[in-house]
Chain A
Amino acid sequence: MSFGWIFALIAGAVIIFLAIYFTAKLGQTQQELRSAEVGTEIGTLLNPLETGFESAQTSSITIPAETRIHNKCNDFSGNFGEQIIQLDQKSFGKWSETTTKVSFENKYIFSDSEIEGKKFYIFSKPFYFPFKIADLFYMTSANEKYCFMNAPYDIENEILDLNQSNLITEGCTSADTTVCFDSDKCDINVDYSSGIVEKDGEEMYFVETVEESKVLMYAAIFSNKEVYECQLKRLMMRLKELSQLYGEKELLNFNKGCNGNLRLDLIELSDMASSFGSSEEIREVKIKADVIEEGNSYAYCKLW
C-alpha cells in the first residue's frame, strides 16, 4: 500500500470521527436547549395560574415527548431562594439527561422531586400567613393517580371541584397512591387534627392557615419531605420580607394618624420567619401570625 493511501485513510478516519463527535455534541446541546426552553415555558405558564380572589385554579401542561421533571429547591441563595426546574426527555426510547437548570425566585412548586409523563396537572392555591405570601403550585403527573380515601367532606368537595382526572375520591385501584385521613395504612397518611402528613416513612408538619386553610396540607401530600421543607423555608423567607414591608407601611399610616399597633408584632414575625428551621416550628410561627391577623382585623387602617 502506498504512502498516499495510508495517509488518506488516516486523515479520512480522523475527519469521520470528528464529524460523528461534533454531531453527537450538537444533539446533546439541542437537548440542553430544549430542556431550558420547556423549563422556562413551564415557569411562564404558571403566571396565569396566580390567584386573585379565586380559591384555586387548575390547568394542565402537555409536552410532546415523554418528560421527567426534576423539581429542585434552593433555600440558600438570595433573599427568596430559588425554584429550580430541570428536564430530561426521552428520545429513541432512551432518557437523555441534561444539566441545564431553569430557576425562578417567585415560584413555589410542590411535587415529588421527580415526576414523569407527557401530561402534567397543576393547581394553585393562595397561601395566607396571615397576609398573602404567595401562590402555591401543586404539580402531578397524569400517570400518577391520587386516591383520597374517606376524606373529610370539605376536602372531598374541594378535590372534586378541581376536576383533575388524577385526583379521585372513589373507585381506587391498587396502582393508585392512596391518601388516608382516618388510618395509617395508606401510602400517604394525614393526621389532620395533629397537623402531620406521613409519607415514605417521614413526617411533615402543617398548620391550618387563615384563608384557604388546607394549602400546606396539600403541599405536604403532593411533595416529598425534601421539597416540602425547602419550599416552606422559602415561603418563610418571603414572609420575612413582606413582614418588613407591612411594618414600613404601618409607619407611613402612623404618620397619617392611623396606628394599628402591629409594628412590633410584625418585627417579631419577621425574626421568627428569619430563623425558621423546619416544619416542626410552623405552629409557633402560626401563633404569632394569628395574633397579627386579629390585630389587623380590628384596626381602623387595615394593613392588608
Chain B
Amino acid sequence: MVKKMNNKAQMKIQQMSFMLIAVTLFFILVGVFFLSIMISTMRKTASSLEEKNAMLLVSKLANSPEFSCGNSFGTSMTGCIDFEKLISLQGRKEDYEDFWGVAEITIRKIYPSTGNIVCDYSNYPDCDIIEIVDKNVNKQPANSNFVSLCRKETDGSIVYDKCELALLTVSSEEKRT
C-alpha cells in the first residue's frame, strides 16, 4: 500500500518537473524571440541613423576645414574642395578614420577624367580617386554631391588656379540585420 502511494507521489513529482521544464522552455523561447526582434530593430535604427548622418554630412563636408578651399582660389566658394589639402589628408588616413563617423569618404574626379587612378603624392595631380576614409566593413548605398576640385597649377612661369568637376561620395556602415 505504502509502496503504491510512493509510486503515485513520484509520478506526480515527475509530471510537475516535466511541466516546469516545459514552462521554462516556453519562456526562454518567447524571450529569445523578443530579443531577436529587439536586436533586429536596434540594428535597423543604428543603420538608418548612420545613413542619415552620411546624407547630412555629404552636403556639408566640402565646407569643413579639412576639405574647403577657403579664400585660396580667389573668393570663397561653396562646394569647393582643395586638392592639395586632400592629398595631405590622404597621407593621414589613420588619424581621421573615425573622425566623421562614416565608413567611406571618396572624391572622384569626373571631368576631365584620366581613368581610375588612385591618387598619392607620386601621381598627384594626374589621378582620379582620392580615398579619405575606407573602412573594411559592409557599406550602405553611397550619398554623393558634385563639387569643384581646385588646385594651384603652373606652366613654369606663372601659377594659376585650376578647378575640375568631382563627385564627393559618403557611405555609412551597414549593420547586418
Q: Identify the stretch in A152-160, A189-197, A217-225, A249-257 within 8 Å (CB) of chain B at 4 or more residues.
A: A249-257
Q: Identify the stretch in B55-63, B106-114, B134-142 within 8 Å (CB) of chain A at 4 or more residues.
A: B55-63
Interface residues of B (CB under 8 A from A): 9, 12-13, 16, 20, 23-24, 27, 31, 34, 38, 42, 45-46, 49, 52-53, 56-57, 59-60, 63-66, 68, 70-72, 76, 78, 82, 84-85, 87-89, 91-92, 95-96, 98-101, 124, 152-154, 159
Is the pair B99, A304 in contact by a Cβ cutoff of 8 Å? no
Partner of B31 from A22, A40, A238, A304 at Cβ < 8 Å:
A22
Is the pair B9, A3 in contact by a Cβ cutoff of 8 Å? yes
Residues of chain B within 8 A (CB-CB) of A80 are 99
Can you identify 9 A-B contacts, CB atoms within 8 angstroms? A4-B12, A8-B16, A44-B53, A106-B99, A246-B85, A249-B85, A252-B152, A256-B152, A257-B159
A245 to B70, CA, bound (A): 14
Is the pair A53, B76 in contact by a Cβ cutoff of 8 Å? yes
Interface residues of A (CB under 8 A from B): 3-4, 7-8, 11, 15, 18-19, 22, 26, 29, 33, 37, 40-41, 43-45, 47-48, 50-53, 78-80, 104-106, 131-134, 238, 241-242, 244-246, 248-249, 252-253, 256-258, 300-304
Partner of A301 from B87, B100, B159 at Cβ < 8 Å:
B159
Main secondary structure of the interface of A (DSSP, over half): helix
A302 to B85, CA, bound (A): 13
A32 to B119, CA, bound (A): 43
Is the pair A304, B76 in contact by a Cβ cutoff of 8 Å? no
Is the pair A302, B88 in contact by a Cβ cutoff of 8 Å? no
